[in-house]
Structure 1
Amino acid sequence: MTDDPVTTRLLRRALPTIIMLASLLIVVTLASALYLGRSILVPIALAILLSFVLLPAVRGLRGLRVPRAPAVLIVVLLTFGLLGAIGSLIAREAGQLAADLPRYSMTLREKMTALRAATGQENGLSATFSGLFDMADDIGKALQPAATTAPESAEIGTLQRPMQVEVQPARTSVLTTLSSVAGDILHPLATTGLILLFTVFILLQREDLRNRAIRLAGSSDLRRTTAAIDDATARLSRFFLAQLALNVAFGVVIGVGLWLIGLPSPILFGVIAGLLRFVPYIGAAIGAVLPLGVAVAIDPGWSMVIAVAVLFVVVEPIAGHVLEPLLYGHSTGLSPIAVIMAATIWTFLWGPIGLVLATPLTVCLVVLGRHVERLWFLDVLLGDGPALDPPETFYQRMLAGDPAEAIEQGRQFLKERALITYYDEVVLAGLRLAEADLARGTLDRSRQMKLGESFRTVVDRLGQPRRSWTRSSVGAEAAATLALVGPDPKAAMVVLKPDDLGPNWRGTAPVLCVSSRGVFDETATLMLSQILARHGIGARARPSKGLTEADVRDQGIAMVCFSYLDPISLSQIRLTIRQTRRAIPGVKILVGFWRERDPASLDRLRRATSADLLVTSLSDALQAALDLAQAAPASAKAPSGRRVLKAAE
């Protein structure tokens, strides 16, 4: 590194650009390697995925005390034999369908003639179908055997047939013919052989490959690395096996249904539907296009077309929304945009086989990202989990000046959980993030005011009655929050009746919630007063200023709650509490320190501040208020004297 300060400053400024260019170069190099090496990489990828599927069968034979090598060979040979039989059956069905295309085109032309007569013009759709008819005629003529001509007579009537001249190409050599034929035959055979070879060796050397993967991932913590790789292997094996079983069953059901409908080549269409279903979101729709087109061609009416459409419309939702969640969860763990991008990229790199392999390969990358620290970015880019934690998402919406989205996410959450839980786990955490930015000096005065207004808007709107809310499924961000937090506290479900309150707590607002001088403390105070009021304890919020006897005369205040996101000095807090006790003799003092202090130090802080109660969450504050507010006789009553607050109220 040079000692020249100017050069050093220029290098620091250029460092982000250099990193970006280097990353771009790495991506381009990797994509080029995948594209140019597809002849080798595709068989390896297929072999790895196939090994995940065949591993349970090998383990089953090993459980029957079959040696490893014979067990692997038996499973692999049976699998490839079955695939070969299915391939030959598909080739025969495809050849028969192609030979029948010219005959089907006549029905299509008749339907298009009727359509033109009905519309009175040749629209774009009919022109498109006309091109398809011509293509079907060409394919059929190419597949039909050449017609033999009868010997021609020298004369037909009084006319003599003209002499026909046929130009034949020069005869190619035997070596040229053999090389052309061998190229078409040997390439798929070589690919199949590579897949077979790699699958056998992956299954035979599974433990050795696992150890090498542990070494690459990091051998400093063998327990953690081994557990991560074993978990990833088990999850991928279960996922691929379940996906294969479901898609095979889908193809079988579609094939049987098409056979019952009377569509020709149902086996071909069933196999295509099962293969294309490996492509999420659009695979099933693409698999329905070809049988629908054939149904349009061979049926003079529209009953067969309707039957085929109904078959796909009924079977696909059952497979996608009923069986998939039962077998391997509601999703593949990939975000929808990642699935579409992966399908596009892998298809560009590896062709049609890349379209089928896109989802399994991307799932492998996401699993690696979740278990290998160095590859964490893969989970962020491709996974379906939220990129930000719920408090971070909430705070980001506040920074963006978009409280409406945060309100909607909160409402979705409140359909399943209590408001106090959302305030504690999301809103208070967002306030802490804002307070941390404020302490770092990254928020100017205008931004502080806008943030405070956004926070108060969210709290005001979420505290309104829910009668106008519509019932719907929990959103993605709300679902993430539901998974983050624990069960609702018991106090969140209790609402006190007036008869349950002690004499000093039956006024209009027996609790006074006072915010400190912090910018965001007003929001915390507003949440506390709102929560107390929802649970039967009247409360009001006010900004921080010295309490005098005139301020509280005839108010019937039983408890004062001080709210601190960023506590000032303990001496100042003690002074404020003394002034409050002089202004309101006998009042209970609760201090809320919302910065998640160590629970072990709470008792020391309570003694240092001389407060009656010291809490770190709204749930604790609510529980303390409920305990103090209940009259002694009422507290001895059965719990039936309380009203339960429903989460979906």
Structure 2
Amino acid sequence: MKAEPAALGAVLAEAEEARVVARADTHLMRSLLIGIFILMAIYALYFARAFFMPVILAFLLTLTLTPIVRFLRKRGIPEVVSATLLVVLSVCVVAIAGYLLSGPVIDLLNNTSSIGQQLTERLAQLRRPLERIMQISHQIEQMTETSQEPGIQKVALAQSGILSAAASNVLAAGTSFTIIFVLSLFLLASGTMFYEKIIQSFASLSEKKRALRVVYDVEREISHYLLTVTIINAGLGAVIGLGLWALGMPNPLVWGVAAALLNFLPYVGALLTIVLVSVMALISFDTISYALLAPAFVLLCDIIEGQFVTPTVVGRRLEINAVAILIAIAFWSWLWGFVGALMAVPLLVVIKVFCDHFDGLGHVGNFLAAQQTAVVVEDEAAEENGEAKA
């Protein structure tokens, strides 16, 4: 009789061990399936970028214009009318900007070689300490060329010019812009149709309320962020353009638009703007001391915008840590080029806000959040606990 409890305990132990092994296998299989799904999603985004890129841009444009449509709806203007007006206005702004920028941009592209030569001449005085090293490098290169066999010839591949490559993609760009604006029009004019479809997919009333609350919160926060950041970047571009015009910088409209677009790339965009403005200022002005005023003015504007304006207007709740931003910019620029880099931070904010509303994805949102945000949240939680205890 004493052997029966021992045997029963052994059986229970074996069953528990088997249960633990099965749970571990299930967890491993789930992780493998998630990894395979992520790889397949990246594969699809890369090879089907001609489809996904305009669709995602249309959704981002819709989220940007949604607060305006909601504001006009409260004033009695139907969604169809306000959406049509906003999309037509967006098309006009893009068309006018493209027309005004086409000439200066084409001139800059055609004069790339002369710009490089002028920059080299202006920086000649800074190269004097390095001339000896350059001479040694040139001598080594000549020795390498003379040591080659006489029968070996160098082959240089001619590359197509930038303008010809751009001209070959005009049709694709036009198609993408058409998809973006038409899809945005339908999404804005649809009103609450998608919210109603989402609610209908749940059975219980509590699930419907929770789904509606999550969808509205995510849509409100993201649309507010995108619209606010777009307005801030447009204001920054206008200030930089006017300041460079006052300094006598050629093509100030180009640099103002470039500053507004590149400011969607935190850290990287401001650095690129400063470098580009520095290059053009060095070849445009007579003295180097006066030429440095232009990049210094851009740097001052970027500091004021990044340290004071955006944190005050947008708030620190939606701030993303710098590591996540740089990784996202590198990933999306590899995936979709320059357009993907511009979309990296808005998409990162979308992911963070979405993760913050689900307990299972809270660790992802916590990883994406900036350190200041996490500290603020912890301080608020500590204050609430202290008030509750009191």
| Same fold flag (TM > 0.5) | yes
Whole-Å Cα distance in 2 between the matches of residues 248 and 109 of structure 1?
Answer: 33
Indicate how the Cα distance of structure 1 residues 488 and 267 shifts in structure 2: closer, same or farther if over 3 A, else same: same
- 2: CA distance, partners of 1:382 / 1:347: 19
Kept after mapping to 1: 8 A contact 2:333/2:341? yes
Higher relative contact order (CA 8 A, sep 6+): 2
Structure with greater proportional strand content:
1
Say whether residues 1:51 and 2:62 are aligned partners: yes
Query: What SS is found at the alignment partner of 1:351?
Result: helix
Other-structure match for 2:222: 236
- CA shift, 1:198, in A, is 0.9
Deviations 1:512-556 (A, max 9, x none): xxxxxxxxxxxxxxxxxxxxxxxxxxxxxxxxxxxxxxxxxxxxx
Q: How far apart are the structure 2 equivalents of 1:354 and 1:106? A: 32
**1:364-414 residue CA offsets vs partner (Å, 9 max, x unmatched):** 1111112245544542442347xxxxxxxxxxxxxxxxxxxxxxxxxxxxx
Among residues 77, 80, 104, which one is paired with 1:93 in the alignment?
104
Counterpart CA distance in 2 for 1:205 and 1:143 is 40
Give the deviation of 1:220 after TM superposition: 4.4
Query: CA 1:22–1:119 in 2, change beyond 3 Å: closer, same or farther?
Result: closer
Which residue number corresponds to residue 209 of structure 1?
Answer: 194
Report the equivalent of 1:37. 48
Shift of residue 483 of structure 1? Answer: 1.4
Matches within 5 A, 1:310-321: 310-321=296-307
Partners of 1:232 and 1:203 lie apart in 2 by 16
Distance 1:25 1:84, change over 3 A: same
Q: Please, which of 169, 175, 179 is the counterpart of residue 184 of structure 1?
A: 169
- Is contact 2:282-2:292 (8 Å) kept? no
- Say whether 1:199 aligns with 2:210: no
Question: Helix, strand or coil for the counterpart of 1:264?
Answer: coil
Distance 2:27 2:312 in 1: 46
Task: Name the structure 2 match of 1:484.
Answer: 381
The two structures, once aligned, show a CA RMSD in angstroms of 3.4
Partner of 2:323: 337
Q: Determine if contact 1:275/1:356 at 8 Å carries over to the other structure.
A: yes
- Normalising by structure 2, we get a TM-score of 0.78
Structure 2's unaligned 5+ residue stretches are 1-13, 139-160
**Partner Cα distance (2:197, 2:359) in 1:** 17
CA distance in 2, matches of 1:382, 1:113: 45
* Paired residues of 1:342 and 1:362 also in contact (CA < 8 A): yes
Whole-Å separation in 2 of the counterparts to 1:327 and 1:213: 31
Equivalent residue for 2:285?
299
SS at match of 2:320: coil
* Paired position in structure 2 for 1:26: 37
* Contact 1:54–1:75 (8 Å) recurs in 2: yes
- 1:56-71 maps to which residues of 2 (within 5 A)? 56-71=67-82
Aligned residues of 1:251 and 1:273 also touching (Cα < 8 A)? yes
Which residue number corresponds to residue 256 of structure 2?
Answer: 270
Name the counterpart of 2:342. 356
Matched position secondary structure for 1:485: helix
SS in 2 for 1:50: helix
Contact 1:261 1:304 in 2 (8 A): no
- What CA deviation, in whole Å up to 9, does each residue of 1:132-173 have, x standing for no partner? xxxxxxxxxx899xxxxxxxxxxxxxxxxxxxxxxxxxxxxx
Aligned to 1:592: none
| 1:13-162 alignment runs, 5 A limit | 14-123=25-134
Q: Separation in 2 of the partners of 1:95 and 1:242?
A: 31
C-alpha distance 15-307 of structure 1, shift in aligned 2 (>3 A)? same
Aligned CA distance change for structure 1 residues 242 and 102 (closer, same or farther; 3 Å): same
Distance 1:291 1:188, change over 3 A: same
Shift of 1:333: 3.3
Deviation at 1:108, TM superposition (A): 2.6
Residues 1:265 and 1:67: Cα distance change in structure 2 (over 3 Å): same
Output one character per residue of 1:470-490: Cα deviation in whole Å (capped at 9) or x when no partner.
Answer: xxxxx7765444212238989
Match of 1:593 in 2: none
User: Counterpart of 2:192 in structure 1: which amino acid?
Assistant: E
Matched to 1:233, the amino acid is: E
- Partner SS, residue 236 of structure 1: helix
Q: What is the aligned partner in structure 1 of residue 212 from structure 2?
A: 226
Cα distance in 2 for partners of 1:13, 1:354 equals 38
Shift of 1:44: 1.5
In structure 1, how many angstroms separate the alpha carbons of the residues matched to 2:213 and 2:168? 46
Q: What is the Cα deviation at residue 297 of structure 1? A: 2.5
Residue 279 of structure 1 contacts residue 355 of structure 1 at CA under 8 Å; is this kept in 2? Answer: yes
- TM-score with structure 1 setting the length: 0.49
Task: Check conservation: 1:276, 1:284, Cα contact below 8 A.
Answer: yes
Structure 2 vs 1, CA of residues 479 and 218 (structure 1 numbering), >3 Å: closer, same or farther? farther
Shift of 1:360: 0.8
- Mapped partners of 1:59, 1:16: distance in 2: 44
Does the aligned pair in 1 maintain the 2:319–2:373 contact within 8 Å?
no
CA contact (8 A) 1:219 1:225 kept: no
Matches within 5 A, 1:596-607: none
Unaligned runs of 5+ in 1: 128-141, 145-179, 386-474, 491-598, 600-616, 620-649
1:276, 1:283 within 8 Å by CA — same for their partners in 2?
yes
Q: Answer whether contact 1:335 1:382 (CA < 8 A) is retained.
A: yes
CA contact (8 A) 1:255 1:267 kept: yes
The answer (yes or no) to whether the contact 1:111–1:300 under 8 Å persists in 2 is no
**Residue 6 of structure 2 aligns with which residue?**
none
- Assess, with a 3 A threshold, how the Cα gap between structure 1 residues 188 and 234 changes in structure 2: closer, same or farther: same
Q: 1:240 deviation in Å?
A: 1.0
CA distance in 2, matches of 1:186, 1:65: 39
1:439-470 deviation digits (Å, cap 9, x = unpaired): xxxxxxxxxxxxxxxxxxxxxxxxxxxxxxxx
Equivalent position amino acid for 1:30 in 2: A
The structure with the largest helix share of the pair is 2
For 1:377 and 1:477, locate their aligned partners in 2 and report how far apart those are by CA, in whole Å: 12
Q: Which amino acid aligns with 2:172?
A: H
Q: Do 2:259 and 2:273's aligned partners in 1 also have CA atoms closer than 8 Å?
A: yes
